Structure 1
Amino acid sequence: MPNQSRPATLKSMAIALGVHVSTVSRVLNGDPAGVERAASTEVVARIRSLAKELDYRPNTQASNLKLRKSQEICVLMPRLTDLVMATIYDSIDSAAEQAGYLTFVANTEDQQARQMARAEHALRRSVAGLIVGDSHVGETQPLLDLLQRKHIPYVLVSRQITGHLTAGSDDEMGGWLAAEHLYQQGCRDVAILAGERHASTGADRTRGFIRYYREQGITLRPEWILNGPFDSLTGHQQGEYLLGLNPPPQAFFAVNDFLAIGLMGAARDKGLEPGKDIAVVGFNDTPLAKELFVPLTSVRLPLAQMGLHAVELLHKRILGEPAESIILAPELQVRASSSRLRRTD
């Protein structure tokens, strides 16, 4: 019998049973065709009985190195402190588990150098594939180029780049819906808190918003379209600046809820009430949006579905099956921050 003071191995069990180590491997690693060729029913039963007796656990790390594959998925996220990204990752992790994968997340801080370093570390672990949530528009794509060149399965989530498989939302349509609502509220002088320049989410939402107003014959002021990080501090700072203008904008579209929340804080500091003195629309419809002192109108995205579809698409890529991008439709949730404006006409 194998020395029970040490973990059982395929080799030690093969010696104890008087069979070849490859036979033990086929039986315990789930190769039905190989088992039928290599062993009788009686030998299979003996191998499984001994493995159970010794509480044998496969060395998956060694198997992965040998086979150059694993059941792990690396998820590259810009910031896990971002509730939207955390929600998407939670869905990815649940869907991956259902599909037989384990996930681990790498926080890239939305920097391409960190993105590449984290991805290279994942590739050294022979991951089954990658889900990328921080690709940059308008720039070279060294990571995506590398993955394509090495034929490594990957899919984008939330962000979109032409020519790359993605599970995302129709962000341009979301911006269009926000603009349509504000226009119907009588808002003509509108500012945009547009987020990071390199993020497809902010760029597409801004584009859709501007397009709607252009179709109504209105050109929005370019100096009222401000870029910056997707956080409440930036929203507050940009809100202070815009609300300090004479005259200030009548309405505000923020490409995520945190920018909108920061702007609403700046309005409060100036004695202004969203929904009465100004109109504010956010994006993503995070759970906090409807709980604010003035509930926030926001464009809702199916974030959990986005994560689920990212795993589905990646699984198809891993299996070598054809796959097409999935783009989900947004919905506008109208609340008090934009629906009760005081009329000045």
Structure 2
Amino acid sequence: MDVTEPVTLKTLAGELGLNVSTVSRVINAEPGTEAKWASPATIRRIQELAHERGYARNPHAASLRTSRSDLVGVIVPRLQDYVLATIYEGIDAAAEASGRVTVVANSLDDPARQRLRTESLLARRVDGLIFGDAHQDSPYLDELAARGVPLTLVSRRRAGHVSVTCDDIAGGRLAATHLVSTGRRRFAVIAGARYASTTLDRVGGFLAVLAEHGIGESEVDLHYTGFDAPAGQRAIADILGTDTRPEAVFAVNDFAAIGAIGALQKRGISVPDDIAVVGYNDTPIAQAVNLTTVRSPMIEMGRLGFDKLLALIDKEAVDSERLTPEFVVRSTA
């Protein structure tokens, strides 16, 4: 055989003395399912010759046969966000293990951009979508589901859609329980954005514990400034502008908490002696600055979000899942 000629299923079948259909089914079978089409000895012969001849499976041709592209689209607010980048690592690892490829796009947490980037991915024939930027007040996810698009959510949840999140209500409760146990009674919360379930659930769990200890929501200083370090700095400027200084600050994101700590220290306020600070997620930078925080299982969130999407693509029944958080005590509270 002229080695310069392209290696095809037909040429492999000719050398092996087998039907092209048999060779095709073995090579294009999902891993572990090859035995449906041939004996172990025949499968080994096919695979060894394909490897020896440098045969490469044509994913485009395979997608035409199966109506699947083996591509999964992932929409995140920003890949520079460590939390979503870590969740994406879990998604991508699960995709690689299943022989799929992920394509990621940034929405910048803007619903119009989310729609634009999603439609672009759908035009490229992705088999399904994973969203890390779900908004509570946006109908677009409902529209996609009505169109029959398989999708799952990670990090944030939304009613009516399969999601994998941290149990953020439980996480908020852990933060409040710890702070109350240290004797603190005056609180401020850097709450993130109102459209995100992470805000609603973490703040809701936090306030529920305070209420159980006789501290009403009207007595808590809530600031919806965002999830990053500048948001934490802005919140501290607002908090210290009031007549009553809190004894503790709970931020629903580590980066907002770190921004808050920097702003407090700049004003000569000691953490935790004057004001304690608790964050959320337990990112590496939280460990570096000894931030007391709530740990969320980010990698596992991504893996499970991908696995549930595959189940939906295969028309299986799937339930949402909330993963257990863990409270990590360090030096800031």
Larger radius of gyration: 1
2:165 aligned to which of 165, 168, 180: 168
In the other structure, the counterpart of 2:105 is 106
- Using the alignment, how far apart are the partners of 1:186 and 1:53 within structure 2? 71
2:278 touches 2:293 (CA, 8 Å); kept in 1?
yes
- Using the alignment, how far apart are the partners of 2:311 and 2:226 within structure 1? 34
1:157 touches 1:168 (CA, 8 Å); kept in 2?
yes
- Using the alignment, how far apart are the partners of 2:128 and 2:210 within structure 1? 41
In the other structure, the counterpart of 2:90 is 91
Could you say if the C-alpha distance between residues 68 and 222 of structure 1 is closer, same or farther in structure 2, counting changes exceeding 3 Å? farther
Aligned identity (percent) is 43
- Using the alignment, how far apart are the partners of 2:236 and 2:246 within structure 1? 10
In the other structure, the counterpart of 2:323 is 328
1:240 aligned to which of 228, 237, 250: 237
1:47-196 aligned within 5 A: 54-137=53-136, 139-146=137-144, 148-196=145-193
- SS class of match (1:267): helix
Could you say if the C-alpha distance between residues 100 and 54 of structure 1 is closer, same or farther in structure 2, counting changes exceeding 3 Å? closer
Runs of 4+ residues deviating >6 angstroms? 11-21, 44-50
- SS class of match (1:288): helix
- Using the alignment, how far apart are the partners of 2:303 and 2:161 within structure 1? 18
- Using the alignment, how far apart are the partners of 2:55 and 2:313 within structure 1? 29
Q: Offset at 1:327?
A: 0.8
- Using the alignment, how far apart are the partners of 2:278 and 2:46 within structure 1? 65
Could you say if the C-alpha distance between residues 8 and 237 of structure 1 is closer, same or farther in structure 2, counting changes exceeding 3 Å? same
Could you say if the C-alpha distance between residues 201 and 17 of structure 1 is closer, same or farther in structure 2, counting changes exceeding 3 Å? same
- SS class of match (1:259): helix
1:200 aligned to which of 197, 201, 217: 197
- Using the alignment, how far apart are the partners of 1:24 and 1:179 within structure 2? 62
1:135 touches 1:141 (CA, 8 Å); kept in 2?
no
In the other structure, the counterpart of 1:304 is 299
Q: How many residues align?
A: 328
2:173 touches 2:208 (CA, 8 Å); kept in 1?
yes
- SS class of match (1:337): coil
Is the aligned partner of 1:318 residue 2:313? yes
1:280 touches 1:337 (CA, 8 Å); kept in 2?
yes
**2:135 aligned partner, one-letter code:** H
- SS class of match (1:218): coil
Moved more, 91-100 or 269-278: 91-100
Q: Offset at 1:161?
A: 1.1
In the other structure, the counterpart of 1:342 is none
- Using the alignment, how far apart are the partners of 2:108 and 2:5 within structure 1? 43
Q: Offset at 1:18?
A: 11
1:153 touches 1:318 (CA, 8 Å); kept in 2?
yes
Give me the TM-score of the superposition, normalised by structure 2: 0.87
Give me the TM-score of the superposition, normalised by structure 1: 0.84
In the other structure, the counterpart of 1:264 is 261
In the other structure, the counterpart of 1:343 is none
> Over the residues paired in the alignment, what is the CA RMSD in angstroms?
2.9
- SS class of match (1:197): coil
Could you say if the C-alpha distance between residues 209 and 125 of structure 1 is closer, same or farther in structure 2, counting changes exceeding 3 Å? same
**2:141 aligned partner, one-letter code:** L
In the other structure, the counterpart of 1:214 is 211
- Using the alignment, how far apart are the partners of 1:183 and 1:223 within structure 2? 13
Could you say if the C-alpha distance between residues 63 and 291 of structure 1 is closer, same or farther in structure 2, counting changes exceeding 3 Å? same
